[in-house]
Amino acid sequence: MLVAVDTGGTKTLVASFLEDGRIGEQFRFPTPKTTLEWTVMLKDLLQTHFGNETVEAVVVAMPGIVKNGVAIWCNNLKWANFDVAGALKGVLGDAPLFIENDANLAGLAETRQLKEIPALSLYVTVSTGIGSGIITEGKINPDLRYSEAGRSLVEFDGAVREWETFASGKAIYKAYGKYARDITSKRIWHNIADRISRGFLAIIPVLQPDVIIIGGSIGTYFEHFGKDLNGLLKEHLPTHIPAPRLVQAKHPELAVIYGCYYYALDTLATA
Nearby residues of 212 by Cβ (< 8 Å), 6 or more positions away: 121, 122, 123, 124, 200, 204, 244, 245, 246, 247
Predicted confidence (pLDDT) per residue in 35-79, tens digit: 999 999 999 999 999 999 999 999 999 998 999 999 999 988 999
Domain boundary assignment for the chain: 2-101+253-270, 114-248
Measured torsion, CA atoms of residues 46, 49, 52, 53, in degrees rounded to the nearest 10: -90
Whole-number Å distance between alpha carbons of 25 and 7: 17
- Does the structure show a pLDDT above 90 at 111? yes
pLDDT in tens, 196-237: 999 999 999 999 999 999 998 899 999 999 999 999 999 999
Tell me whether the CATH fold assigned to 2-101+253-270 matches the one assigned to 114-248.
yes
Answer whether 223's CB lies under 8 Å from 256's CB. no
Spatial contact of 256 and 61, defined as CB atoms under 8 Å apart: yes
- 76: closest CA among 121, 18, 127, 117? 127
First vs last C-alpha separation in the chain: 17
Q: Are 264 and 59 in contact (CB under 8 A)?
A: yes
- Rounded to whole angstroms, how far apart are CA atoms 10 and 131? 15
pLDDT bucket at 9, cuts 50 / 70 / 90: confident
Query: Closest by alpha carbon to 144, among 114, 101, 201?
Result: 101
3-state DSSP of the chain: CEEEEEECCCEEEEEEECCCCCEEEEEEEECCCCHHHHHHHHHHHHHHHHCCCCCCEEEEEECCEEECCEEEEECCCCEEEEEHHHHCCCCCCCCCEEEEEHHHHHHHHHHHCCCCCCCEEEEEEECCCEEEEEEECCEECCCCCCCCHHHCEEEECCEEEECHHHHCHHHHHHHHCCCHHHCCCHHHHHHHHHHHHHHHHHHHHHHCCCEEEEEHHHHCCHHHHHHHHHHHHHHHCCCCCCCCEEEECCCCCCHHHHHHHHHHHHHHHHC
Whether the predicted pLDDT of 252 surpasses 80: no
Give 2-101+253-270's CATH code, choosing from 3.40.50.720, 3.30.300.30, 3.30.420.40, 3.90.950.10: 3.30.420.40
Please choose, from the candidates 22, 25, 5, the residue with its C-alpha nearest in 3D space to the C-alpha of residue 14.
5
How confident is the prediction for the chain on average, in pLDDT? Answer: 95
The average pLDDT across 145-170 equals 94
Fold of 114-248: Nucleotidyltransferase; domain 5 (3.30.420)
